[in-house]
A and B are shown apart, each in its own frame.
Chain A
Amino acid sequence: MNTSTNSTFFQTVIQKRWLGKAFLLLLTALAVWRIATALMADPLLFLQQVVNGLQLGFVYALIALGYTMVYGIVRLINFAHGDVFMVGSFVSFYSITRFQLHLWPTSVFPAMSENLSNVIGVLTVIVVAMIACALLAIVIERVAYKPLRNAPRISALITAIGVSFFLEYFAALDFVFSANFITYKRPIEVVTWAIGANGITQLSGDAPPEGTILLSNIALIIIVTSILLVVALQFIVHKTRIGKAMRTVAYDKQTARLMGINADAVISTTFAIGAALAGAAGVLYAIAFSQIFFVMGILPGLKAFVAAVLGGIGSLPGALLGALIMGQAEVLSAAYISTPLRDAIAFSILIVVLLVRPTGLFGEPEREKA
């Protein structure tokens, strides 16, 4: 009698997967407890961290969208994407320092108001970087990936790593960019606002007033630009002919060809759009952190990729959500758990999420593809 109840209890534990669930619950409880105590201790500081996390998360989102689009259409983990991001920030750096591109509205239309010309100047720099990155991506795709479209998938992955190395170390050569840290010249002055119960005040001195959250125009630019680009991307993918073609090719390349879609052109376009987003992210990242370096693309690229996987690679809303989670995870764990461990924590979150949802938050169940 006794043994039989024991064994049924044991069976329930096994069948309901209680042990594994208990383990995950323990981890989640620890994280929730840490966040809750931080929120109780200083809500404003916590809110400030969340804003910082949003700023970072939106930059990751722009890179992650490129990863997820390319993966969705050719099932390739494009490791060179992070380096396209780096090229974007370098292009913007040179267009600002050499060609004074951010100043053209003031020199052409001196009568224009200062704010408007600033905005147009920054947008021009971003667009130039986006175009440069898109062209670079088309070249990369033609040279390194297209010849291997029918080879095993791993071959294209290896060439992607090769392209990544090449971009990094070619950029590090003296006559190309530089192997040193470069201080980025921001196209606009930083303005910081303190938002509190007493309304919004522009921060002039060094000490922010008590009980406020700081928000800079840089953060605003990043968040607004990213949202605009994400919306534009949604529009392109869901409302235009090329977007429809992209979705078709992602679904089934052979059938798309039979329907008269030029699959190669669509794939090139996808690479170009993804790279353009990465280029924009490169400019925004450089404006935010004001330092650029030839291997600066590796870690943001990796984290954005993790974000894409977290959200379910191949899914656009997934990439956005995953990137926002990654941004928060990084900033919050740096603030409340341990600064050196912040990347380790971000990766642990990825692994735990994959254990619960094996294809990411919004991922489709795995479909076997030859």
Chain B
Amino acid sequence: MMSKLSKPTLWFLGSSVAIYVVLQILVSTGLLNSFWDTIIRIGAVMAIVSIGLNLIYGFNGQFSLGQWGFYAIGAYAAADVTYRWTVNKSADGLVILFLATALSGASILWLHQRIAKVRGIDPLSAFTIYLTSTIAWSALAFWVGITATPAVTALLNMLPAAIALQIVFIVAVLFSAILAAEISYLFGLPILSLGSDYFGIATLGFTVIVKILLDNSDTLLGFVEMKGARGMIGIPKITTLFWVFFFLMVVIVLVRNLLRSSYGRAIISVREDEIAAKAMGIDVAEYKIVAFVLGSFLAGLAGGLYAHINGFLHPNTFNFIKSFDPMIIIVFGGLGSITGTIFASFAWALVLEGILRIFLPQGFETWRFVVYPLLLLVIMLLRPKGIFGDYEIPFLRQVLPKPRHPEKEKIEAEKIAEVQP
């Protein structure tokens, strides 16, 4: 079994586990206090959001500013489910979220197979079909969920409280991420046909709309416990170091494997040249939406984890100004570099939340956001392509498929090199 794993894989897995163990020991023994512990967890969460955005922008070339909106959706949905479980002692949020996302997800997949066979359907018509079916299935899910809630609540109450809470947490986080992915599918379908800057602005608009809806979540949306612009409190703080590391590792490995597959190469080819990709038989629209949905899924996942770090959510966290944070991170780390993204996420959290909060001299506390943009400017001017450029550690590196006739291709390549000095 072990012999099947290559050397870079072993290095990567070994060092990640080692880093986790060291950090966990430091935190458990109290050498790192809860402040730094929180910063590490926020860094990991930002890494997940930013990997998602890197998938959309860095690898697929779609200039999206909507990542933060999906992050907000994931955060609030997951927080609402666990809040209802811990405070209201009811699994209604869990059941309804589960049923609604599962049913509308299934309906989207089912419709997708049917609609893909129809030639020449325009995105807006497809969107209308999907939207109608999603609303219908969600209404059904709500109705079924209300009736099924007591049974599920009783079932979960038979388990020990701690385990039940963990189960609710994991299901909430995963299905909030699926919720974010489904919304991104519905939204992305008509929008992805826009040109790059217009797409960026439309997704920015999405982020703003989500923020405004969250500001009025108690009055307009009817979620009283979200408390609108006053901020949601009382969310259980159950995102431990273990969970963020676990999810970060899973995300890194999955994204790496995705990018190494034919799907990944198709996604990258769309970024390189849409027309050439189309000429090679790649369904450009399809791969754009695949990347967009996967990236939004990661944003939703990270949102769910983030909500349970501080136990407090405020719509201002999901302000569109902050929606540039993942964009800043991926540009800093290097577009199309997962290594860079992970590094930049932790560096961002350490500098902005940690160092600039603690080490600014007395009387200069208000300078935090003066120093931060200056750092931003200096790094950007010195390294316009990001700190890592497109460097990757060996484990994450792209591999191109081996040529079928290595000798022949080598000779061909030499011939071409001779002709074009």
| Interface set of A (CB-CB < 8 Å, partner B) | 13-15, 17-24, 75, 77, 143-144, 147-148, 151-152, 154-155, 157-159, 161-166, 168-170, 172-174, 179, 298, 302, 305-306, 309, 313, 338, 340-341, 343-344, 347-348, 350-351, 354-355, 358-360, 366
Cross-chain contact A351 with B191 (CB below 8 angstroms)? yes
Asked if B331 lies at the interface with its beta carbon under 8 angstroms from chain A, I say: yes
User: How far is B307's CA from A162's CA once the two chains are assembled, in angstroms?
Assistant: 27
Cross-chain contact B125 with A340 (CB below 8 angstroms)? no
Cross-chain contact A172 with B374 (CB below 8 angstroms)? no
One of B197, B331, B374, B381 near A77 (C-beta < 8 A):
B197
Please, which residues of chain B bring their CB within 8 A of the CB of A344?
208-209, 212-213
Asked if B372 lies at the interface with its beta carbon under 8 angstroms from chain A, I say: yes
Cross-chain contact B198 with A358 (CB below 8 angstroms)? yes
Cross-chain contact B128 with A20 (CB below 8 angstroms)? yes
Minimum distance in angstroms from A32 CB to a CB of chain B: 19
Q: Is the interface of A mostly helix, strand, loop or mixed?
A: helix
Cross-chain contact A340 with B220 (CB below 8 angstroms)? yes
A20-B127, A313-B197 known; A162 vs B205 contact (CB < 8 Å): no
Minimum distance in angstroms from B344 CB to a CB of chain A: 12
Asked if B121 lies at the interface with its beta carbon under 8 angstroms from chain A, I say: yes
One of B198, B331, B370 near A166 (C-beta < 8 A):
B370
Q: Is the interface of B mostly helix, strand, loop or mixed?
A: helix
Please, which residues of chain A bring their CB within 8 A of the CB of B209?
344, 347-348
User: How far is B120's CA from A18's CA once the two chains are assembled, in angstroms?
Assistant: 13
Q: Which one of B120, B200, B381 has the greatest number of beta carbons of chain A within 10 Å?
A: B381
Chain B window 311-348, contacts with chain A (Cβ cutoff 8 Å), 1 for yes, 0 for no: 00000000011001001100110010000000000000
User: How far is B122's CA from A24's CA once the two chains are assembled, in angstroms?
Assistant: 13
User: How far is B384's CA from A152's CA once the two chains are assembled, in angstroms?
Assistant: 8
Cross-chain contact B376 with A19 (CB below 8 angstroms)? no
Cross-chain contact B125 with A19 (CB below 8 angstroms)? yes
Minimum distance in angstroms from B50 CB to a CB of chain A: 13
Chain B window 114-141, contacts with chain A (Cβ cutoff 8 Å), 1 for yes, 0 for no: 0000111111110111010000000000
A169-B370, A341-B216, A354-B194 known; A24 vs B380 contact (CB < 8 Å): no
Please, which residues of chain A bring their CB within 8 A of the CB of B335?
152, 154
Among residues of B, the one whose C-beta sits closest to the C-beta of A155 is B384
Q: Which one of A75, A169, A172, A366 has the greatest number of beta carbons of chain B within 10 Å?
A: A169
User: How far is B331's CA from A173's CA once the two chains are assembled, in angstroms?
Assistant: 28
Asked if B201 lies at the interface with its beta carbon under 8 angstroms from chain A, I say: yes
Cross-chain contact A159 with B125 (CB below 8 angstroms)? no
Please, which residues of chain B bring their CB within 8 A of the CB of A148?
380-381, 384
Minimum distance in angstroms from B385 CB to a CB of chain A: 7
Please, which residues of chain A bring their CB within 8 A of the CB of B191?
351, 354-355
Please, which residues of chain B bring their CB within 8 A of the CB of A143?
377
Please, which residues of chain A bring their CB within 8 A of the CB of B127?
20, 23
A20-B122, A158-B331 known; A147 vs B381 contact (CB < 8 Å): yes
Minimum distance in angstroms from B132 CB to a CB of chain A: 9
User: How far is B322's CA from A164's CA once the two chains are assembled, in angstroms?
Assistant: 12
